[in-house]
Amino acid sequence: MEPMALGKDYAHQQCSIARALEVVGERWTLLVVRDAFYGVRRYNDFLTHLGAPRAVLAARLQALVEAGVLDRRRYQESPPRDEYVLTARGLALWPVLRALGAWGRAEVPGAVPVRHFHHADCGTELGPYGECPACRVPVPPGDVEMRPGAGLDPDPGDPVGRALLGTRRLLVPLPHGWEGGNS
């Protein structure tokens, strides 16, 4: 059998859903993409925030780059360091994450809202498909403001989780190098 990168072999399925799952259907993959929307860009930040094994994370990042979902690019030369940012194809996954999150919030029992997503332009909370009910337009992820909800752990163990506590705009990179912030 052929190498097949890591395709899960249900490519033969006559279905765009199956094709999408070939790319983003593996364990951890969609959580990596979610974190990328939250502003995570560096290997170590994905690592600490996700808690995934290092080898798995490396494999997923590489697969997402090969699939054109993430772009790997140099952000400093001296110790050569790369970051992973969403491409247009990756940004197009926003409705998938919205739909999954909406379902997880509404349909999994005992779910307290962890985060809220608002239209940055007008402050209205987004509808289930990522549209703004007030402006009646689909809101691109760059115009989404993420606000903490009641279910959000106010003191996560990892620094990335702490950086994601406040109100933030999606896709804005996590702060690095300057100063942690509070305390």
Partner DNA sequence: CAGGGTCAGTTCATTCAATGAACCTTGGTG
Partner DNA sequence: CACCAAGGTTCATTGAATGAACTGACCCTG
Nearer of residues 67 and 120 to a copy of itself, judged by Cβ: 67
Q: Which long-range contacts (CB under 8 A, 24 or more apart) does 158-164 make?
A: 158/48, 158/49, 159/48, 160/40, 160/45, 160/48, 160/49, 161/49, 164/38, 164/39, 164/49
Restricted to residues 137-166, the positions that interact with a copy of itself (CB under 8 A) are: 151-153, 156, 161
Single-letter code of the amino acid located at 15: C
CA dist., res. 5 & res. 160, Å (int) = 30
12 binds, among a copy of itself, DNA, none (CB under 5 to 8 A by kind): a copy of itself
Q: How far is the CB of 90 from a copy of itself (least distance, A)?
A: 9
CA dist., res. 105 & res. 109, Å (int) = 8
43 binds, among DNA, a copy of itself, none (CB under 5 to 8 A by kind): DNA
Contact characters 117-136, a copy of itself, x per CB under 8 A: -----------xx-x-----
Q: Which residues bind DNA (CB under 7 A)?
A: 6, 8-9, 26-28, 42-45, 51-56, 58-59, 61, 78-83
Q: Which residues bind a copy of itself (CB under 8 A)?
A: 8, 10, 12-23, 25-28, 30-31, 34, 50-51, 68, 89, 92-93, 95-109, 111, 113-115, 128-129, 131, 151-153, 156, 161
